[in-house]
């Protein structure tokens, strides 16, 4: 029996990803050599997580998925397609990637933050020829220096996209954040890589002619670990869980959209908003309930983000201020984003 849903939106991790049905015939990938699933954020299981890891764990465990979110995440997992998540700021678009990765045991999320200068090459890998030239000159001046000191692989690191497409035994989670900020060409440049699940590193393809077996050990994104790459070609084995986020600031080409599963997130309302507050800060008290109602009453007049509400409730609990001061502070913490209505007051 197929396991639907694989992703449930529950906080407890499980191994459902290992029972995911086979992909559609047109989305089969057979990359080699097969790599073990990535370790967790710390190499020492007994070590205490640092603050960054705690923050990441918090955003993953507190994410409150809607029914539509659960359905479309599973559609992307079953179809081995990227998930394009669109919505206003503060609706949890990027947190979704962390929540899915935690529940399904996909390891640390690979994150690619997009700017107007981002290119496909940035996401795949970086290569520093100047550092290689310096290393080569340094090696020749030292008797007995190993030739490997000037190898191309020592000056090359896979990016988040390039790492996600390695032939892992289970999918990696990749967050491509704010794709709508990219240059106009980037979505089209992504088409072939995401469709074929593979890419080449020309520098390694050329160097492979002089290396027995054509294998190079390269660094991967976010760690100092090395993985083997055969003849400069990388092909995934399990298509990664790819989340592309967009604030809806631009339209994408039809060819790009048809290769994605699209999820539209809206500003949380009523019970869902209360559940988000409860997940982050515990049971809302009377004043928090009042702030929730004020927030909901103002959403229709302008753009607000849920984290503005969370900030106001947290300070209301921790500052010790009186009610009058809290009301003024809450108003300042929850200004409208984007267009400003004529009456921006509680």
Lowest mean pLDDT segment, chosen from 16-20, 40-44, 261-265: 40-44
How far is the C-alpha of 346 from the C-alpha of 344, rounded, in Å? Answer: 7
Q: Could you report the per-residue pLDDT of 11-29, keeping only the tens digit for each?
A: 889 999 999 999 999 999 9
Q: Could you report the per-residue pLDDT of 69-90, keeping only the tens digit for each?
A: 999 999 999 999 999 999 988 8
Q: Which superfamily does 16-264 belong to?
A: P-loop containing nucleotide triphosphate hydrolases (3.40.50.300)
In angstroms, the first-to-last Cα distance of the chain is 53
pLDDT at 90: 84
pLDDT at 48: 52
Q: Does residue 210 register a pLDDT over 90? A: no
Chain Cα centroid distance, residue 311: 23
Q: Does residue 129 register a pLDDT over 80? A: no
Higher pLDDT pick, 140 / 214: 214
Q: In what order do the strands lie in the sheet with 110-113?
A: 110-113, 173-177, 241-246, 83-86, 261-264
Q: How confident is the model at residue 45 (pLDDT cuts 50, 70, 90)?
A: very low
Q: Does residue 323 register a pLDDT over 90? A: no
Q: Where are the domains of the chain?
A: 16-264, 270-333
Mean pLDDT of 223-247: 95
pLDDT at 2: 56
Residue 283 burial (C-beta neighbours within 10 Å; 0-12, 13-18, 19+): exposed
Q: Are 94 and 179 in contact (CB under 8 A)?
A: no
How far is the C-alpha of 261 from the C-alpha of 76, rounded, in Å? Answer: 6
Higher pLDDT pick, 206 / 242: 242
């Amino acid at each position: 029996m197929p396991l639907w849903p694989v992703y449930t939106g529950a906080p407890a991790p499980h191994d459902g990803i290992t029972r995911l049905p086979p992909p559609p015939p047109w989305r089969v990938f057979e990359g080699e050599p097969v790599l073990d699933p990535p370790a967790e954020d710390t190499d020492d299981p007994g070590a205490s997580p640092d603050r960054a890891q705690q923050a990441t764990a918090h955003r993953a465990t507190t994410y409150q998925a809607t029914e539509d979110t659960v359905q479309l995440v599973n559609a992307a997992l079953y179809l081995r397609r990227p998930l394009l998540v669109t919505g206003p700021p503060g609706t949890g678009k990027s947190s979704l990637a962390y929540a899915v990765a935690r529940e399904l045991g996909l390891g640390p999320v690979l994150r690619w933050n997009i700017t107007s200068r981002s290119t496909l090459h940035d996401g795949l890998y970086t290569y520093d020829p100047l550092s290689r030239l310096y290393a080569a000159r340094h090696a020749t001046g030292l008797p007995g220096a190993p030739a490997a000191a000037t190898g191309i692989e020592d000056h090359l690191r896979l990016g988040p996209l390039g790492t996600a497409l390695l032939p892992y035994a289970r999918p990696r989670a990749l967050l491509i954040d704010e794709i709508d900020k990219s240059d106009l060409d980037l979505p089209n440049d992504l088409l072939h890589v995401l469709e074929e699940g593979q890419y080449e590193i020309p520098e390694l393809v050329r160097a492979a002619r002089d290396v027995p077996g054509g294998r190079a050990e390269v660094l991967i994104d976010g760690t100092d670990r090395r993985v083997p790459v055969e003849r400069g070609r990388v092909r995934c084995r399990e298509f990664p869980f790819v989340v592309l986020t967009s604030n809806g600031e631009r339209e994408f080409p039809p060819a790009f959209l048809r290769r994605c599963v699209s999820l539209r997130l809206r500003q949380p309302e009523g019970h869902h908003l209360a559940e988000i507050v409860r997940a982050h800060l515990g049971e809302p008290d009377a004043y928090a309930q009042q702030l929730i109602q004020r927030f909901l009453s103002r959403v229709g007049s302008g753009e607000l983000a849920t984290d503005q509400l969370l900030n106001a409730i947290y300070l209301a609990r921790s500052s010790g201020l009186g009610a009058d001061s809290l009301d003024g502070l809450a108003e300042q913490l929850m200004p409208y984003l984007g267009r400003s209505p004529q009456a921006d007051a509680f």
